[in-house]
Every structure is written in structure tokens, then in C-alpha cells.
Structure 1
Amino acid sequence: MSVAASPRSPSATGDVATDATAALQEIWRSVFPAAFGRAWTDIARFEPVHTADAAAPAPPCVDRVADLVGQAFYCPAADAVVWDADTLVPDLQRRFGSAGVTVALAHEVGHAVQTRLGIDEAQSREPRRYPAILLETMADCYAGVALAQPGLQPVGGLASDAPVADDALLALVGFRDPLGVEPGDDSAHGNAFDRVSAFQDGFRDGAARCAAMTTENRAFTQRRFGSAADRARRGDLPLPLLLDAVQQDAVGWFGPLAPGWNVPPLGDAGCPEHGRTAQGPVRFCTVGGGLSIDRGAFAAVHREVGDFAGITLVASRYGIALLGALGLATVGLPAGAAAVCLTGAYTAALMEPGRGFTLSPGDLDEAVQVLLTHDWAARDSEGGVDSAEHGFDRVARFRGGLLDGPDSCLPRR
């Protein structure tokens, strides 16, 4: 379950970054006036820097070429978007395709949008109102606005549709802050969940949504390690302890949603009916109503992504079981959709202070990764899934449950 996307072919000009910045400039010439009622001022400079050339002159706003290696930035003083053409762009192209290069540059252009809206000046007057993480979140949101526009379709074969959005989200997962960085840190850009959330808001709702972001209406989910032991484990519980803890906790959360329901424990026996393996590493058994886990497959998810990726899958199967307990269909696309949503609602409970079983740094990012790279959480009790749905949609549905609670996930009866 690697976050790396398959390699993509290069652009027609051989320079995806140059194509992308030209397209981004053109997009904001139309989007900015439509959203804000004022003309767009073209960005003065787009500057690729060949960091492998020791004799290359220093780019704007940094003292040495070495300071740019692996980086891209927007410099308000020079009104310039600058990037490392020798290391950063090839790496993003290899790992995430054209979408990875484009979303990185779209984020930096997003900072130029902020400058044109006067956010730089406002931040200098009221730094507490505009902390670094809010500015970075807004830039991710503006990147989502840009990638939703048809004008990016010619860039390196890029098309503004859900598969490309998945690659862009995977790139944002790769750009996340190191574990344990808190929202108040001056260097904070956001964890993967928050960055992906901001991108999706811009992609779906437009530039006005990004401009309206404040610390009052935007919650950040980054958190510190709860203990030295948690830090030493990098936030991951050992597998046996994890399974015992999530089973006990999930039974306590899902049970009250169907009064009188005897919530089943996790088992190893397997399901007797058709579709028992098609659901993925964790299965809901329609015969008997139990949950079965393939420990080998589950251990692989735990090892390759992290413990909360596995919890995400467990919670989704408890979601399917809940549907059955409520007399609702466990087969069909609405069942899979409800399961993902209920997984988000359950996750929200793990963010509450004072619980014995709570999230660690990186847990939400692991949920994003497994939802982007696999459709297991969205499968119904027979393993059926919407083949037209993409990771972008699953993450959005998970966020919906997290923000709006379990009632929003269940069909009206």
C-alpha cells in the first residue's frame, strides 16, 4: 500500500512544471475576477532553478541555490514562484505523475492569490489571526480550485477528474508535516488529513470557500504524542493490543446506535457465505452477523501503512454490521457509502479528550492513505463496490461522517 502513484508520461514539451505554471496563470486570470470581483495581476516570475548546477545564481529570496534543493516556494517580495527543477520536479513526476508536480506548484500559486487578496499585509498586522498553518491550508484550498478547472487538462496529459484528484491527494499526503508537529508551530503546513480536506473544499466549493477560512471556522487535527511510549512507537500500537482495544472500543460506540443489539466481536473463523474474502482483510458475515479478520492481510496493512489504516477497515465492517442490526440493506452501493461515513463518525469520537482509546499523531493520515489506495472500506457485505468511485470520493464521505456524525450516514427510515 505505497502512496506512490504509477509513473506518467511527460508533457508534450517535456517540461510539466512550465506547462503547469502557464496553465495556472491562465486559470487565475478568469477564476480570480469571477470569485472576488477584481482583476488578476499576473505573477511576475516563474523560475525553475537547476540546483544540480553549482554555478547557478541564487534564486529570489534565498541566499544559496542549496537552500532550494527539494523545495518550491512563492516569494512575495519578488512576486515569484520558484522551484527546484533538478530534484523536486523529477521526484514528484516519478512518484505521483503530472498531478504531483501540478499540485505542488498550484499550492505556491495559491500563496500568490493570498498576496493579491491582501492577506500578507493583514498577517503582518495580526499574526495571531493568520497563523502559518492557516495560510498553508488556504493555499492547499486554492490548489484544489485550480485542479478542478478544465484549463489544466492539457498539462502532461492531466485531466481534472477524480483519478487525477486522487494522485494530487496522494502527493499532499507526501507533503504532510512530520509526526508530532502542532498547529501552532511556525513551520506547520498541516497533516495529510487537514491538507487533503482543504484541497477538497477548494475543488468542490471554489475560491470563495478558501478566502473565508479562519481559525474560528477551521479546525486543525494535528496533535502531540500522548506519552513517551506513544512517541517511541511512532503512534502505532502492537497488533495484538490494537485488535483487543479497537474491538472493545468499537463495540462500545456502535452498540448504542442500535439499542438491544449484541455487537459481535472480531473473530478468525471466516465467513461461510459467498463474498467472505471479497470484502478485504476484515469481513462482515451475513450468516451469523459476526466479523472475521484475515490476520495475515491485516498485519500487512498495519505494517505498510500504520495501525489506524487497519482500524479504518474494522470500523467500516462494524458499520455494515450496524446496518444489518437496524434492518437496513447490507448489500448495494448505499451500504458501502454508509460504512465509510460511519467510519468517519467513529473516528470523530476518538478525537474526544479523556478517552482511553484515542488518536495518535498520523492516525488520520493513515485513514486517508488506505481510503485513497484501496476500496475495501466501501465494499458491501458481498464485496460489491462502485467501480466509478475513487479515493477522492471515499475520503470526502469519511470527512462527512467525521464532521456531521452517524445520523448523517444512515438513510432515512
Structure 2
Amino acid sequence: MARRVFTVAAVVAAAALAGGCTQAVDGLARPARPDVSKVSGLEITTGESGAKPGVPDADLRVENGDGGEMDRLAINALADVAEYWTEQLPANFDGKEFEPVKRLVSYDSNGAGVEICRTNTKGVANAFYCSLDDSIAWDRGDLLPMLDDAFGPMAVVTVLAHEMGHAVQYKLGAKGGVTQATPSIIKEQQADCYAGNFFRWVAEGKSKHFRISTGPGLNQVLATMFFIRDAAGTSAEKQGAHGSAFDRVAAFQFGFEGDPERCARIDEQEIKSRITQQKFDSQDADSGQGKGNLKVDERRHLELLETSLRNAFKQTGAAPPAIKTGGSSCSDDRPTSPASYCPATNTIAVDLPDLVKIGTPPKRGQKGGIGDFAAFAEIASRFALSIQKATGYSLEGPAAGLRTACLTGAWAGTTTEASARLKLSSGDLDEAVAELLADKSLIAADVRGAVVPSGFARVEAFRDGFFEGSGLCTRKYYG
């Protein structure tokens, strides 16, 4: 790829990010300080997530079921989601009653096929809603066990809550802003948002069969959204597009923070204003690390990164830190990997072997790092600490961690500008989501590497900076 690119040329209008996106704004009323011990007003909890013990299974009629663990999990999930919509549909849409889905169908993609929605399910590892016969179907043989093994039972609940979101769209019709002609990306973003509505209800303790912690539990749900994202390079305009991880997580968060009416307002205008997913372009060559990924240890790429960071924060007037490779020797703070910031010397030390581990994307079926953007963003986070020190902010504690994530997002936003030599490419913001959901996310860590326990809050702070710029970071995440 050309040196001007690393990984997701965002479809965000440059005008929305320019003009104040890299400067602190003084003299404005500060918004209420977010409580870093909470997620959208709920306490951050670390308890068990999954099925509530001792609760009888729901009694729903299911075609072709086997009565096994996966079917019971699916039935209980759909029963609770239906209960949620029985409450919330009339409350939010002028008394519109929720009519239960007419058919629930279980199948094993490894076994004999079943005819559903004019499709034979043999070999189809999927879950889907079909408006032709108002049905929801799921693969108990491959898909559901895989989700359960990889992310836990709430991953299964996430997927089925999304499919019920499509049923809600069908039942609302034009009242919900969706018709058969509506582009798939709008339908999918709405369904992700509706899933977020349901999970807020679960987190509030209102679900009969399930419970979820707002710390690790929600982190697993967002990791599920990452897993079921569209592949990098998929256009949001493609029929059947669901969204990048960054976009899907955003829609889920809108639902978790808001009500079903917020989800129904997702329309073409909103999608055009914020969807970041698009195809690779001619600048996104394969550098040997996979398309859209630069080699993070090449000097020219690190120099481009440093220039990008200096330009992003030059309007603050802060003296930029020196970036050097090699070990860290700092008198006043604990080193972090792969990059450490030393306040005493205003220096960032980069461990190149560790940076390469993070910056090398995994190959199919193999373990690996994340990608170049995740690696560069970790350096950017330490650069953001230097800006905070120069402008009088604390470098320790949860507020510092969220402010760092927000400022890193603000830097990422500047790389969408036409004049930028280092630009986002398809897949980069998904790498940010993957890094932010990691237990030791450096993007959302303070100077000592302490991370805010909520991945939800970390992603939200990064998203704040990306769309609104650094002015919001210093106004919202202060303390």
C-alpha cells in the first residue's frame, strides 16, 4: 500500500471532523462529568453472566428441535426478548401491540436440511429472521455451539436478540422507518440497536432467564459484535452488508443507552453521516502483512505516525514528546508495553518486538496480533498522555484512561482528512475495537497502564473522540 495509508478509509465527511477536532475548547460549559464507575448510569459489575440458576425453561413451540442445551438456550432467549418487546413496543410506538413470531425453527446444519424461507438449511451455519413466513431459525449444530464456546451463552442471546430486532422491523413496517426497499445496512444497524435495548433491560435485572454483568459480560457481548462483523473491504452499500465492528458496536451502544425510538430513527441520513465501512481503495496495497496493513517496525512508517500525531495535536501548543525505540528508563512511572510514556523526560519509548506482535494481523486459523492500527494507536495513546500533562490534566486514574481513549480517537479522526499522509483504511477501526476490548487495552489506560474495567466505556470514549474531536475529550472526561 502507499505510505499515505495504513488500514480504513472512513466514510465520515471530513467537514464533520475538521475545525476544532484537534484543539481543546476553553470557556464552554462542561457536561456533567461521567461517572467512571458506571456504564450508562449502571454500576460496573463483574458477577456471573448467562442463565439464571433455578429458573424453569420457557415453553415455546419449536419446529424440528432436539430438546438439547442449545435449543433450550435459544428458546429461553427468544422468550425473554419477546417479553421485552411485549412491554416496549406499545410503550414506544403509539400502543402498537407486539405479535409473537409465528414460527420458531431449530435445525442442525451438519444434518438433513430443512426448508425454511425458500432455503434448504443443509450446511447453512446461521441464524435468521424470514418475513415471508414470520419465522426465526437457528443452527443448533454448528453456529450456536461455536458462539457459546468462544464467547459464552450471552453471545447466543445477542444473535437471537438481533434477529428478533428484524421481526420488530417487519411488524412496525413504515412506522419503524423500514420497508422492503430499505438498504440492508440500515436494517442491520437498527437490529443491532434493538439488541442493545434488550440488553439494557437484562442488565437492569428484568430478564426472567438471564443476567449480565456490565463489565466482563458486556465486554463479551461487544466481542460477539466484533466476531460477526463484515470482512474488511466490504462496502456498506453492498446488499446484505451488516456493518463493521466499529459501526455494529456503535449501534448496539445507541440502543443500550437509549430507547427503541432511538433505534427506529436510524435512517439513510444518519448512516451516511457516521458509517465508516467501505471498500479498500487503490492505496491499500498488500505489504506482506495482509491488505491494508503496514509493517509497523519500518522507520518510514513510524516517522509518518509521528508526523500524524504532531499535526493532530499541534493546536494545543504542547511540546510534542520524543519517540524513541528501545527500552524505557524512567524515574517516575512504571513502563507499559509496547509503548511507555515518561513524564519526567516527555519521552515515549517503543518496544519494537512487542509492537510487531500487536501489529501483525492473525492468519486464518492461527493466533496472532491485531493489526497495524492497533499498534499505532497504542503509541498514539502515550502521545495523548503527553498532551494531557502539558495542558494540566492528571495522568492517573479512570478519567485519565477514558480521556486517553478519547484523544486517541480524535487523532484517528484526523487521519481521514484529505491532506493526511497516513490514513485510515478498511478494517482499522475494527482493530481499535479489538484492542479496546482486550483486558490490558493500552489505548484506554492511564500512564501506569491501569485500564477502566468497562470495555463498553472504553469504546464509547474512543468513538466520542473520533466523531467529535479532542475538544469533547477534555470537556467530558475531566478530573
Is the 1:272–1:287 Cα contact (8 Å) retained in structure 2? yes
Is the 1:344–1:402 Cα contact (8 Å) retained in structure 2? yes
Q: Given the alignment, which residue of 61, 64, 80 partners 2:120?
A: 64
1:33 aligns with 2:102: no
Which whole-Å CA distance do the structure 2 matches of 1:312 and 1:261 have between them? 20
1:383 aligns with 2:456: no
Is the 1:282–1:313 Cα contact (8 Å) retained in structure 2? yes
Q: Partner residue of 1:133?
A: 185
Q: Can you give the 5+ residue segments of structure 2 that lack an aligned partner in the other structure?
A: 1-47, 58-68, 361-368
Q: TM-score, normalised by structure 2?
A: 0.77
Which whole-Å CA distance do the structure 1 matches of 2:167 and 2:341 have between them? 49
1:358 aligns with 2:358: no
Letter in 2 for 1:214: D
Which whole-Å CA distance do the structure 2 matches of 1:53 and 1:10 have between them? 27
Letter in 1 for 2:105: E
The alpha-carbon deviation at position 260 of structure 1 amounts to 5.5
Letter in 1 for 2:359: H
1:247 aligns with 2:306: yes
Moved more, 137-146 or 245-254: 245-254
Which whole-Å CA distance do the structure 2 matches of 1:81 and 1:162 have between them? 30
Secondary structure at the counterpart of residue 149 of structure 1: helix
Which whole-Å CA distance do the structure 2 matches of 1:120 and 1:75 have between them? 19
1:237-276 matches, cutoff 5 A: 237-241=294-298, 242-257=301-316, 259=317, 261-276=319-334
> Which string of whole-angstrom CA distances, capped at 9 and with x for unpartnered residues, describes residues 10-31 of structure 1?
7866321121111111111112
> Which string of whole-angstrom CA distances, capped at 9 and with x for unpartnered residues, describes residues 310-361 of structure 1?
1221111111110111132222332222111101111111122342211111
RMSD of the TM alignment (CA)?
2.4
Q: Can you give the 5+ residue segments of structure 1 that lack an aligned partner in the other structure?
A: 1-6
Structure 1 residues 273 and 73, CA gap change in structure 2 (3 angstroms)? same
The alpha-carbon deviation at position 144 of structure 1 amounts to 0.7
The alpha-carbon deviation at position 255 of structure 1 amounts to 2.5
Which whole-Å CA distance do the structure 2 matches of 1:19 and 1:268 have between them? 53
Which whole-Å CA distance do the structure 2 matches of 1:199 and 1:154 have between them? 21
Structure 1 residues 120 and 51, CA gap change in structure 2 (3 angstroms)? farther
Which whole-Å CA distance do the structure 1 matches of 2:279 and 2:111 have between them? 40
1:106-117 matches, cutoff 5 A: 106-117=161-172
1:319 aligns with 2:374: no
Which whole-Å CA distance do the structure 2 matches of 1:294 and 1:152 have between them? 47
Q: Partner residue of 2:433?
A: 368
Letter in 1 for 2:119: D
Structure 1 residues 342 and 262, CA gap change in structure 2 (3 angstroms)? closer
Is the 2:196–2:256 Cα contact (8 Å) retained in structure 1? yes
Q: Partner residue of 1:399?
A: 463
Is the 1:61–1:78 Cα contact (8 Å) retained in structure 2? yes
Which whole-Å CA distance do the structure 1 matches of 2:218 and 2:292 have between them? 28
Structure 1 residues 63 and 216, CA gap change in structure 2 (3 angstroms)? closer
The structure with more helix, counted as a fraction of residues: 1
Structure 1 residues 166 and 262, CA gap change in structure 2 (3 angstroms)? closer
Is the 1:312–1:343 Cα contact (8 Å) retained in structure 2? yes
Is the 2:327–2:351 Cα contact (8 Å) retained in structure 1? no
The alpha-carbon deviation at position 147 of structure 1 amounts to 1.2
Moved more, 371-380 or 26-35: 371-380
The alpha-carbon deviation at position 214 of structure 1 amounts to 1.1
Structure 1 residues 98 and 158, CA gap change in structure 2 (3 angstroms)? farther
Structure 1 residues 342 and 121, CA gap change in structure 2 (3 angstroms)? closer
1:172-321 matches, cutoff 5 A: 172-218=225-271, 219-227=274-282, 230-231=285-286, 233-241=290-298, 242-257=301-316, 259=317, 261-277=319-335, 279-303=336-360, 304-321=369-386
> Which string of whole-angstrom CA distances, capped at 9 and with x for unpartnered residues, describes residues 41-63 of structure 1?
11112211122322x532x2033
Which whole-Å CA distance do the structure 2 matches of 1:400 and 1:336 have between them? 14
1:79 aligns with 2:137: no
The alpha-carbon deviation at position 280 of structure 1 amounts to 3.1
Is the 1:147–1:160 Cα contact (8 Å) retained in structure 2? no
Structure 1 residues 160 and 22, CA gap change in structure 2 (3 angstroms)? farther
1:161 aligns with 2:204: no
Which whole-Å CA distance do the structure 2 matches of 1:107 and 1:90 have between them? 17
Q: Partner residue of 2:13?
A: none
Structure 1 residues 390 and 94, CA gap change in structure 2 (3 angstroms)? same
1:333 aligns with 2:398: yes
Secondary structure at the counterpart of residue 137 of structure 2: strand
**Percent identity of paired positions between Structure 1 and Structure 2:** 31
Q: Partner residue of 1:142?
A: 194
Which whole-Å CA distance do the structure 1 matches of 2:130 and 2:437 have between them? 32
Moved more, 193-202 or 247-256: 247-256
Q: Partner residue of 1:44?
A: 102
The alpha-carbon deviation at position 66 of structure 1 amounts to 1.9
The alpha-carbon deviation at position 256 of structure 1 amounts to 2.3
Moved more, 191-200 or 291-300: 291-300
Structure 1 residues 394 and 236, CA gap change in structure 2 (3 angstroms)? same
Which whole-Å CA distance do the structure 2 matches of 1:398 and 1:352 have between them? 18
Secondary structure at the counterpart of residue 73 of structure 1: strand
Q: Given the alignment, which residue of 78, 81, 87 partners 1:24?
A: 81
Which whole-Å CA distance do the structure 1 matches of 2:197 and 2:117 have between them? 27
Structure 1 residues 179 and 231, CA gap change in structure 2 (3 angstroms)? farther
The alpha-carbon deviation at position 292 of structure 1 amounts to 1.0
Higher relative contact order (CA 8 A, sep 6+): 2
Q: TM-score, normalised by structure 1?
A: 0.89
> Which string of whole-angstrom CA distances, capped at 9 and with x for unpartnered residues, describes residues 62-106 of structure 1?
331226x21111001111111111111001101111121011111
Q: Partner residue of 1:4?
A: none
Letter in 1 for 2:447: S
Is the 1:98–1:158 Cα contact (8 Å) retained in structure 2? no
Which whole-Å CA distance do the structure 1 matches of 2:207 and 2:319 have between them? 50
